[in-house]
Amino acid sequence: MKPVNVADYREAARRRLPKVLFDYIDGGAYAEWTLAENVEALKRLTLRQRVLRDVSKLKFRTELFGQELSMPVALAPVGYAGMNARRGEVQAARAAKAAGVPFCLSTVGLCSIGEVAKAVAPPWFQLYMIRDRGLMDELLATAREAGCPALLFTVDLPVPGVRYRDARNTAIATTFAEHARQAMDGLSHPAWLWDVQVNGGPHCMGNLASATQGLNNLGAYWGWVGRNFDPSVTWKDIDWVRERWPGPLVIKGILDAEDAREARAFGADGVVVSNHGGRQLDGAPASITALPAIADAVGGDMKVLMDGGIRSGLDVLKALALGADACLIGRAWVFALGARGEAGVTHVLNLMRQELRLAMSLTGCLDVADAGPELLA
């Protein structure tokens, strides 16, 4: 069956990928209430259909941090995405460039900043606060020297969330039986095994290769994250980052208007309204629920982006209507990457554009810059 929407790509990825990888993408924290609510809260919003508005000429272009986008969408940073297709972050970056939208590379991506920049173009770069400030200094210097257009600094992972699916899949294999189960999981997905495991190396976090030598599986890397991400981080650490990063700085992981005001006070150029895809605090509000108050608080002074639950161009328009300047898509592009590689990501971005066009046409929205709450019933 040819995928025709993100849900189809999710099913295609489920079939092609080993269970441990699919569940790592698809799963969330604890009972996954927030994960589900990200999608359901968007579904509950209804668009206000209008007619006879002359929608023959629509404007999709927007500008973020000095960069022109063909539509208000960017590929969100997703850790370990390169394990879903051969050198997966490079494939996704190529699809994003062809579509005229940004690709953001995760600190814990398989491909390094240098690999993506050389193969495609300098990506946006996402950074976590790491205990080793020397390593952080090196990462920021690498991003500067590569010409990364923006830095997304993620602040909602001072400690790793608890994800039951990963625990059930024995992501941190310690016994012979657990290692054997993971090996059989890979062997039962031969197309993925040949593409990624056999031909897709090196299988390490490219940006952290020097710090993670000897680690060779998802569980081991996740354990490294738990030991090395810094739970003592405060707003004052934003000053430390700002001293080393002269370009656009975006704080990712904001769910409260007061935190958004703090980000503005500490010199951020934008925020991403995000609950980490429901992967951190289960019971936190859906991103779309938190968006309006944050947009009201800081939207006139800085760019407001949103991620979490975006599965279509209709969802994008709903987020724009509630104050977002653009949306980041995460699972949507990784499902497509896992199913069909670069071609899948290209198709999902085309679908997003077609769906956004239809939603704008049937709500009478002629320009994404003019989208507002009047588009919602």
Burial of 216 (0-12, 13-18, 19+ CB in 10 A): exposed
Residue that is written with structure tokens 């879903």 in the block: 84
d(CA 238, CA 266): 7
* b/e 65-74 (16+ beta carbons within 10 angstroms → b): beeebebbbb
For residue 229, give the DSSP letter.
Answer: B
- Residue 96: how many CB atoms within 10 A of its CB? 25
d(CA 135, CA 132): 5
Measured CA to CA in angstroms, residue 121 lies from 81, 165, 346 at distances of 18, 35, 16
For residue 77, give the DSSP letter.
Answer: P
CA angle 309, 315, 321 (to 5 degrees): 120
Active-site residue, 179 included? no
Measured CA to CA in angstroms, residue 3 lies from 10, 13, 49, 65, 212 at distances of 9, 11, 27, 33, 37
Residue 150 CB contacts under 8 Å (≥ 6 apart), including other chains: 64, 65, 67, 102, 104, 124, 125, 247, 248, 249, 250, 269
| Cβ atoms of residues 198 and 86 within 8 Å | no
For residue 224, give the nearest of 160, 316, 164, 294 by alpha carbon: 160
- The answer to whether the Cα torsion of 104, 107, 111, 114 is positive or negative is positive
The SS3 of residue 125 is: strand
At residue 327, what are phi and psi to the nearest 5 degrees? -120, 145
Report the catalytic residues.
Answer: 276
